[in-house]
Structure 1
Amino acid sequence: MAAPVSQTPRHATAAQASADYDIFVIGGGINGCGIARDAAGRGFRVALAEMNDLGSGTSSWSTKLIHGGLRYLEHYDFRLVRHALKEREVLLEIAPHIVEPLRFVLPHHAELRPAWLLRAGLFLYDHLGGRQRLPKSCAVDLTGPLGAPLKDHFRKGFEYSDARVDDTRLVILNARDAAARGAEIMARTRVCQARRRADGWSVDLEDRTTGARRSVSARLVVNAAGPWVDGVNAQVIGQNDGNAVRLVQGSHIVTRRLYDHDRAYIFQNADGRIIFAIPYAQDFTLIGTTDRDYAGDPSDVAITQEETDYLLSAASEYFREPLTRADIVWSFSGVRPLFNDGAGKAQESSRDYVLRMDRPATGAPLLNCFGGKITTYRVLAEDAMRQIEDAIGHPNPSAQAPLPAGWTGRNALPGGDFSATERDALIRRIEAAAPGLDRPTVTRLARSYGTDALRILAAGDLGRHFGHGLYEAEVTWLMRNEWALAPADILWRRTKLGLVMTEADTAALAAYMAEAISHGNGGSKVLETGLLAE
């Protein structure tokens, strides 16, 4: 929710107009990249710095869902659910390759919420956000295939619609579109200090790959550092606003695929929480998440034994075959930077966002972003732009093809220039472009890159095969166009092939990438000169 702004817009002074950038964004997660995309499209001069790989923090450790949040209805957070459901429709339209419809099965647990309450909640969920693309909820018989993986006493339930997302690719695609519209995206760049001046900001930067340092100027700074937002304010900007964010740890486990059908499950637990079991990366099942307060450096977060036991126990309450630690093939954990609203329990803290514009009488403006969820990142960016334009005015009318407010909801993200009904046709085009590829690889390319998969395959020569459908052509694309510099960037964020790659596969990829960077065929040199090049 945007904080009210009472000041009138300021006009840029000569000093402000000569700044390197209009807007400098700290943080390359989904909120930072979403703001950068919107601002660049409107004609602002934009820079973004991320201290690590893009999307490597909270944005890559989500439950991979675009959803309204069914359980938020119990907390009467109707505004958040309504906005999120509306955004679900938008994201299905602008990113049909990485956002896909998904049906969820909710078994009725006789000892928990009554069936009438579930039915009423789903009716509200169907109608609160103006559902257009997805089928409505319905009752389902769990004595058939949908209930086959479950214990026998779960005999009835409900089914409803939401969507899943490749969360890190959503970040990358926003960054790519921002860069294509003129933004400078600086991955692996640390903001050492940001000094407020009367007419703007002086921002000191360090390239963490080369060690090079430089200073740039900007008219306005956006702090979108996620779990590090308080730290950036205190240590980089030099103002301590207290603990504005509540750090909440969420962990997940991944197992081999637990069932054959294409639905996800949502399971109620006796503690009032819910967990999901979701088809993941074609051959796996994702189970999560937890909610526990976290103290410490967000970079050090890791799943605990307690969380692992909680997820195994919660899933085993429903699945016919109990899950054990031996079933886990991977786990991950992230820190959610929730706005500190004073809620008693972590699970009760709002997932809504708060934007605060700091506009001192004699200094440059600063916008702080607190909280939020991946589903509503685009709305957050639009709210941020309203406050930014109020603070520094509109871009110079001579800016290249400025777009109006709301444009990000109408223009497809890179690779998303097709409709969901054309997905099968796209897969056939990819198969025709590379007849030697197996169907799982073709499907993965379509889901990851959309129509850009055809650009990756355009040369006709896939090059070296690193295993499991990862070829040199794709690696080169990721290094040239998507800021990938290390194997983890490719295997765990831009693809999920780390789940199947062997140590030997990974070592071969690492050697190839290191050689490519040293010869200027990939990495930072290419990013400076060849970003988005054909």
Structure 2
Amino acid sequence: MTADNNIYDLIVVGGGVNGTGIAMDAAGRGLKTILCEMNDLASATSSNSSKLIHGGLRYLEHYEFKLVRQALAERESLLRNAPHIMWPMRFRLPHQSHLRPAWMIRTGLFLYDHLAKRELLKGSKSIRFAPDGPMVSDITKGFEYSDGWVDDARLVVLTAKAAEEKGAQIKTRTKCVKAERTDKLWHVTLADTQTGEKKTYQCRALINASGPWVSRLFSDTMTITAPKQIRMVKGSHIVVPKIHDEPEAYILQNADNRIIFVIPYEDDFSLIGTTDVDYEGDPKKAVISPEETEYLVGIVNDHFKHKLTPDDVVWSYSGVRPLMDDEFGDAQKASRDYTFEVDGGKKEAPLISVFGGKITTYRKLAEAATDRICDFFPNAGPGWTKHAALPGGDFTDQPTLLAEFKVEYPWLPESLARRYVRTYGTRTRTLLKDCQSMKDMGHHFGANLYASEVSYLMKHEWAQEAEDVVWRRTKLGLRLKDDDLAGLQNYMDKIRAAA
């Protein structure tokens, strides 16, 4: 959008779902864009969610109808745009009359079914639990409704990939250490966190989409007072060997008015969460507490015949959600909505800061933020992302693509082909382009992770460390052993050294 090739239109600080979403949208409108992330993509909040694309049934109790309506509409769009990493899921809500009356739940589900247009997902219904089912015997009836599942970290990576393919530069492990405004331009100093090398870039607009660090970025890099403070709320999850064999997820009510999800996870596990705990300190250092583990285990044991102990936990994770700070109320009641703050304008280079948000509405947030940015770039193109498939998502459904792969790669084990469909979609063909047999896949690190996949992730998806591969690009960390991880890290170190 600018005649000066040394000046960028936009620098986005933050490689989570909001930052990558803005970079993707802006680059697609013709804005010359850089995105910087001080760690790996999706290394904080955006990879530590409940992995759901959902309207937020419980938000109806807080009268957040606009947020729910918007999220429900986005749910349909996202399911179409990324059928490899998102898919529909049915949720069962056991009814306990002393917590919420049936009429209230029916009313909420009616609104959930009708607040926005619904084409891909089935509506809600009442159900009865079979005596031989997974629920404890005194829970006999409930409700069932639809929402969506998402691989949150891959959503971020693929959004960044789409941004790159539209012309954006994606700089991971690159920290914004200084930002100074001089009339119509920002001078932004970025530091490589591995080498320490610094470089200053000029841009016409700066976007602060740094999530839990959004307020801190002002004091750390600029001589500007943060216009808002965010409320940091820690949400923790545990993963245990699966506690039932049904494909449905469960949403459990609790006496403290919170709800807990129990979600089928990576075929052999159950994902349980989340908590809501106010948090102070470095968001990167957030970990689950013993009290949170006991809390989650206790709620599950109140509902399921299969009893858990903390020793059953095979993995846990905690994310710090940057919520709108209303300065009062419980953490669970803090709004999941978002807002923008604009500093500067006609006479000086603008700064747009993103506060709040939730993963389901990330595309809409990015579109709204980019619309606001484009007030300063009148020659920018129109919004375009609503119907844009994410990389690898240009296919109809997973069974059809899996059938195609069986024909194209008859030597590929079905379990591995299925994982590739759910991870890379049609980009699996790029991953396998030089492979004619399993021998061509290279070294096997364990858990069906081969050198060809690792090389693909390093070349195409910014993976640099073993953790990037086994927790954010895949979830194979659940299955790999320490020795496997050491071998993987050595392999990646050698590739990087040779590059």
Question: What TM-score range do you get, normalising by the shorter chain?
Answer: over 0.9
- Structure 2: distance between partners of 1:361 and 1:472: 52
CA offset digits 1:30-59 (Å, max 9, x no partner)? 000000000000000000000000010100
Residue 348 (structure 1) aligns with = 333
Moved over 6 A (4+): none
Query: Per-residue displacement from partner, 1:246-275 (whole Å, max 9, x unpaired)?
Result: 000000000011111100000000000000
Select the residue among 70, 74, 84 that pairs with 2:61.
74
Q: Alpha carbons of 1:354 and 1:56: their partners in 2 closer, same or farther (altered >3 Å)?
A: same
Q: Give SS of 2:462's match.
A: coil
After alignment, is 282-291 or 360-369 more displaced? 360-369
What is the CA-CA distance between 1:430 and the residue it aligns to? 2.4
Q: Is the 8 A contact 1:441 1:469 kept in 2?
A: yes
Gaps of 5+ in 1: 1-11, 396-402, 521-534
- For this pair of structures, how many residues does the alignment match? 495
Change (3 A) 1:486 1:33: same
> TM-score normalized by structure 2?
0.97
Equivalence map 1:258-269=2 (5 Å) = 258-269=243-254
Match of 1:257 in 2: 242
Moved more, 305-314 or 220-229: 305-314
Q: Which residue of 2 aligns with 1:101?
A: 88
Residues 219 and 392, structure 1, Cα contact 8 Å, conserved in 2: no
- 1 CA distance for matches of 2:379 and 2:283? 36
Q: Give the CA deviation at 1:166.
A: 0.2
After superposition, give the CA deviation of every residue in 1:375-401 in whole Å (9 maximum; x if it has no partner): 000100111012111134334xxxxxx
Report the Cα distance in structure 2 between the residues aligned to 1:484 and 1:19, rounded to whole angstroms.
28
Check whether the contact 1:437–1:469 (CA below 8 A) recurs between aligned residues. Answer: no
> What residue is the counterpart of 1:410 in the other structure?
387
Contact 2:12 2:208 in 1 (8 A): yes
Change (3 A) 1:491 1:70: same
Q: What's 1:425 paired with?
A: 400
Aligned to 1:400: none
Q: Which residue of 1 aligns with 2:146?
A: 161
> Counterpart of 2:61 in structure 1: which amino acid?
E
2:444 paired with 1:465: yes
**Equivalent position of 2:8 in the other structure:** 21
TM-superposed deviation, 1:462: 1.2
Given that 2:239 and 2:314 are in contact with CA atoms closer than 8 Å, whether structure 1 keeps it comes out as yes
Q: Once the two structures are aligned, what percentage of the paired residues are identical?
A: 49
5+ residue gaps, structure 2, are: none
Superposition pairs of residues 323-334 of structure 1, within 5 angstroms: 323-334=308-319
Three-state SS of the structure 1 residue aligned to 2:137 is coil
User: TM-score, structure 1 length as denominator?
Assistant: 0.90
1:311-326 alignment to 2 at 5 Å?
Answer: 311-326=296-311
Q: Which residue of 2 aligns with 1:120?
A: 107
1:374 match: 359
Shift of 1:457: 1.3
CA RMSD of aligned residues (A): 1.5
> AA paired with 1:111?
H
| Aligned twin of 1:47 | 34
CA distance, structure 2, for counterparts of residue 279 and residue 434 of structure 1: 28
User: Could you tell me whether the CA contact under 8 Å between 2:230 and 2:322 is conserved in 1?
Assistant: yes
Q: Which residue of 2 aligns with 1:64?
A: 51
Paired residue for 1:386, among 365, 371, 376? 371
Q: Which moved more, 1:492-501 or 1:361-370?
A: 361-370
The CA deviation at 1:233 is 1.1
Q: 1:454 aligns with which of 429, 438, 459?
A: 429
SS in 2 for 1:449: helix
Distance in 1 (alpha carbons) for counterparts of 2:187 and 2:461: 28
Q: Could you say which residue in structure 2 is the equivalent of 1:495?
A: 474
Task: Indicate if the aligned counterparts of 2:76 and 2:120 stay in contact, CA closer than 8 A.
Answer: yes
Distance apart, 1:361 and its partner CA = 6.0
Aligned amino acid, residue 361 of structure 2: T
- Residue 460 of structure 2: aligned partner: 481
Superposition pairs of residues 214-229 of structure 1, within 5 angstroms: 214-229=199-214
Name the counterpart of 1:136: 123
Offset of 1:129 from its aligned partner? 1.4
- 1:225-240 to 2 correspondences below 5 Å: 225-240=210-225
The CA distance in 1 between the partners of 2:473 and 2:408, in whole Å, is: 22
8 Å contact kept, 2:227–2:341: no
Distance 1:107 1:393 in 2: 52
- Measured in 1, the distance between the counterparts of 2:379 and 2:285 equals 40
Contact 1:433 1:457 in 2 (8 A): no
Deviation of 1:282 after TM superposition, in Å, equals 1.3
Range with greater deviation from structure 2 (263-272 or 126-135): 126-135
Q: Distance in 2 between matches of 1:244 and 1:384?
A: 19
In structure 2, what is the Cα distance between the partners aligned to 1:91 and 1:463? 34
Amino acid at match of 1:517: R
Matches within 5 A, 1:190-201: 190-201=175-186
1:275 aligns with 2:250: no
Deviation at 1:161, TM superposition (A): 0.2
The 2-side partners of 1:218 and 1:321 are apart by 57
Determine helix, strand or coil for the equivalent of 1:447: helix
Structure 1 residue 17 displacement after superposition:
5.0
After TM superposition, the structure 1 = structure 2 runs for residues 277-292 of structure 1, keeping only pairs within 5 Å, are 277-292=262-277
> 1:339, CA displacement in angstroms?
1.3
Alpha-carbon separation, structure 1, partners of 2:408 and 2:484: 25
SS at match of 1:296: coil
What's the CA shift for 1:343? 3.6
Asked if the contact 2:131/2:137 (under 8 Å) is kept, the reply is: no
Cα offsets for 1:132-189 (capped at 9, x unmatched)? 11000011110266xx111011111110000000000000011001001110000000
Which of 352, 357, 363 lines up with 2:342 in the alignment?
A: 357
Distance in 2, matches of 1:275 and 1:465, equals 37
Residue pair 1:433, 1:458 contacting (<8 A) in 2 also: no
Per-residue CA deviation, residues 318-368 of structure 1 (Å, 9 max, x unaligned), is: 011221011110000010000112341111111001111112564210000
1:18–1:500 distance in 2 versus 1, CA, 3 Å = closer
Q: Is the 8 A contact 1:248 1:291 kept in 2?
A: yes
